[in-house]
Structure 1
Amino acid sequence: KSKRVDVAITSKGQSAVVIEGRENLGLIEEQVGDINFSLNPITFWQSHRMAPTVLSQVVRDYVQAEPADHIFDLYGGAGLFSAALLSQLGVAGRITLIESDENAIIDA
């Protein structure tokens, strides 16, 4: 019987292979600005190496969160956009991330 094989390559060239039915062989690491992400290789991540940085800046500029705001991140994935807004929210702010993919929730 054939098995699904997923290959993930990070923006820095780190790679991971996941074979269906086997335990996760390790997390991949991504960095966006000063924020580090440890991701399951099958979790969705932007495919272009500059996309996470560019999109995070667009989100920060557009949302213009203020301290103590409560933000909802729908289809939040691994938390890329939530992480981009953390510095604007301060300790009183709050983010509710909504996501259906279990791996992405764990990574967030």
Structure 2
Amino acid sequence: MNCPQPSGAFTQISQSQISQIKESFTMLDNDRDSIVSSGDLEQMLTSLGQYHSSQTISDMMARMPSPLQFPSYLTAMSSILCQFSSKEELFTAFSAFDDDDSGQADIRT
């Protein structure tokens, strides 16, 4: 897929993908204030059982637009998704390893 500038990347993804991105944003926005804050990130990492320090949270926040609201989250996520191959391209590539058309690839070392 040919990705436009990040600000327009969301035009290259489907409505279904936008809905999934919105759902992931909602999961991150623990306090439901429409902004992903350091407290939201801390809660997410805790719920995943991940060790995190205040420095970890600060570093993560420094890499994100501030404030992180859905429009900027959508732009960032869609610019990443836009770089992936389509489902059909991936299926074709992986089917090259499915010698007997069983839906499985035999991997031997």
> The TM-score by the shorter chain falls in which range?
under 0.3
Higher strand share: 1
Q: Which has the higher contact order (CA 8 A, sep 6+)?
A: 2
Higher helix share: 2
Scaled by the length of structure 2, the TM-score of the pair is 0.22
User: Highest Rg: 1 or 2?
Assistant: 2
Scaled by the length of structure 1, the TM-score of the pair is 0.22
